[in-house]
Structure 1
Amino acid sequence: MEKSRLKTIGFLIWLLSFGVFQQLSAQENPPIPIQVEVRTSKNLNFGSFVAGIAGGNVTVSYDDQRTIDGDIFELNFGQPVSAALFDVYANPGTIIQIQDSSSYILVNQSSGAEILLFINSFSTGQRTFVTQAPNAETPNEVFVGGTLQIPADNSGSLPGTYNGTFTLNFIHQ
């Protein structure tokens, strides 16, 4: 009877040891570090246009389509119209939110005239998206469009080339 009891205790110790071993071997791998890199591939360009005295808006959508409203006439020469293109490198399935300021000022270097830029069009459909590229070495392309607000009663002070920058923060979760 004593030998039977010792065999049972030995078997239970073996089972407990095996169970602990199984828990250690089934431990989950540590989380993959999240690193996000964003590169500018193409700048936002509104092309050439002429603004009348009443002003208006010039919009370039994320898919390079230009629309004009108000007292503005588009010209089909000069710089080509294009949305901005950002290449986002991140692990597949990374949740990214795009943040920016409400408006940006573009300045004519010759006259000092100013117009406002609003960023308002994203190929991701919204400002929060999940990366879809198969790996971190393949870019997730994010096209971004915007609207120029041309002031009314500009009295001819607007002609020229405008330059400026806008800042987008790509925040990963």
Structure 2
Amino acid sequence: MIFIVRYKCFLRLCITVIITMLLSQLVYAQQQPPRPITVYANPSQGLGFGAFFLGASGGTVILYPNGSRTATGSVVLANMGYPFSPAMFEVTANVGTVVSILNGPDVLLTGSNGGSISLHIGNASTGSSFITTATAPATNNVLIGGTLTVGNALANPPGNYSGIFSVTFIQE
């Protein structure tokens, strides 16, 4: 008789624990709080326009988020082994987070041999806003291109041009 009573108590305790565990896993009072997004500029893929030659009137070099580039005016694109690529940003957030992208103002890139070139930040591969789909630690990659506006060879002598631009990622 004692054995049966202990068995019944043990069974009742197990059923109570199982029901409590099921209720705690199925019932939520509210959604988990959002985790702040993190954004890293990928150092191995910065915004680079490659090599090009300037004609008498200048023009533009346009780099698209898909990695292609075009030129206008008297600018001639050159394939001399200098890489060109859109800037890559790696965004980590909870799945389903809405992120908006706000480009900073145009900037002047300064040349190693003098001169300056205007850089206008272009479109992102995701558009101006997107919904994150990658589960951390995976990242949502955002590629951003731009447009260089260059003058003639006297205004923009050959050399390396560099500068800093800003892009803001806003968690909605």
TM-score w.r.t. the length of structure 2 is 0.78
Report the Cα offset of residue 121 of structure 1: 2.2
After superposition, the Cα gap between the structure-2 partners of 1:76 and 1:26, relative to the gap in structure 1 and judged at 3 Å, is closer
Q: Distance in 2 between matches of 1:131 and 1:27?
A: 23
Structure 1 CA distance for aligned equivalents of residues 155 and 34 of structure 2: 54
The answer to whether structure 1 residue 155 and structure 2 residue 119 are counterparts is no
Q: Which protein has the larger Cα radius of gyration, Structure 1 or Structure 2?
A: 1
Q: How many residues align?
A: 146
Correspondence 1:72 to 2:75: yes
The Cα of 1:53 is off from its aligned counterpart by 2.0
SS of the residue corresponding to residue 142 of structure 1 reads strand
Distance 2:156 2:35 in 1: 48
* TM-superposition CA deviations, 1:66-110 (whole Å, max 9, x none): 101101111111311111111101110111111122311100133
For residues 17-49 of structure 1, what are the alpha-carbon distances to aligned partners after superposition, in whole Å with 9 as ceiling and x for unaligned? xxxxx9xx9452353232111111210110000
Query: What is the alpha-carbon distance in structure 2 between the residues aligned to residue 170 and residue 110 of structure 1?
Result: 34
The residue aligned with 1:129 is 130
Partner of 1:167: 166
Work out the CA distance in 2 between the residues paired with 1:56 and 1:35: 41
8 Å contact kept, 2:37–2:92 = yes
Moved more, 71-80 or 137-146: 71-80
- After superposition, the Cα gap between the structure-2 partners of 1:27 and 1:82, relative to the gap in structure 1 and judged at 3 Å, is closer
Question: For the Cα contact (< 8 Å) 2:103–2:168, is it kept in 1?
Answer: yes
In the alignment, the residues of structure 1 paired with residue 58 and residue 89 of structure 2 have an alpha-carbon distance, to the nearest angstrom, of 30
RMSD of aligned C-alpha atoms?
Answer: 1.9
The corresponding residue for 1:116 is 118
- Residues 139 and 26 (structure 1 numbering): CA distance in 2 closer, same or farther, change over 3 Å? closer
Task: State yes or no: 1:102 paired with 2:102.
Answer: no
Query: What's the secondary structure of 1:54's corresponding residue?
Result: coil
CA distance in 2, matches of 1:30, 1:67: 47
AA aligned opposite 2:146? G
**Identity, % of aligned positions:** 33
Kindly tell me: are residues 140 and 157 of structure 1, through their superposed partners in 2, closer, same or farther at Cα, counting changes over 3 Å?
Answer: closer
Stretches of 4+ moved more than 6 A in 1?
A: none
Please give the secondary structure, in 1, of the residue aligned with 2:84: coil
Q: TM-score, normalising length from structure 1?
A: 0.77
1:96–1:122 CA distance, 2 compared to 1 (3 A) = same
Q: Classify the secondary structure of the residue corresponding to 1:53.
A: coil
CA apart distance, 1:132: 1.2
Structure 2 runs not aligned, ≥5 long: 1-22
